[in-house]
């Protein structure tokens, strides 16, 4: 989920997260990976940092 910088701080991201939580309300666990500078936003949305958990990635770009 991305919100263009010029639209950030207007409640759009929070509304998108709320819509996602509502859509998947029957799922027992919702997981996301956030960049460090976004953690505060997701905490305000109700997410918590998992203890003893480490996100892992394989990332590549194709052109």
User: In the structure encoding, which two tokens stand for residue 10, read together?
Assistant: 């207007």
According to the model, what pLDDT value does residue 18 have? 95
- Which parts of the chain register pLDDT below 70? none
Residues 28, 19 contacting (CB under 8 angstroms):
no
According to the model, what pLDDT value does residue 27 have? 92
According to the model, what pLDDT value does residue 50 have? 86
Check residue 16 and report its DSSP letter. H
Length of the chain: 63
- What's this model's pTM, rounded to 2 decimal places? 0.73
Nearest to 31 by CA among 11, 63, 15, 53: 53
Residues 6+ apart with CB under 8 A from 43: 49
Check residue 25 and report its DSSP letter. T
According to the model, what pLDDT value does residue 13 have? 94
């Amino acid at each position: 989920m991305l919100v263009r910088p010029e639209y950030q701080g207007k409640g759009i991201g929070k509304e998108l997260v709320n819509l996602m939580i509502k859509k998947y309300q029957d799922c027992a666990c919702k997981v996301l990976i956030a960049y460090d500078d976004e953690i505060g936003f997701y905490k305000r949305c109700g997410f918590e940092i998992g203890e003893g958990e480490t996100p892992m990635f394989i990332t590549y770009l194709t052109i």
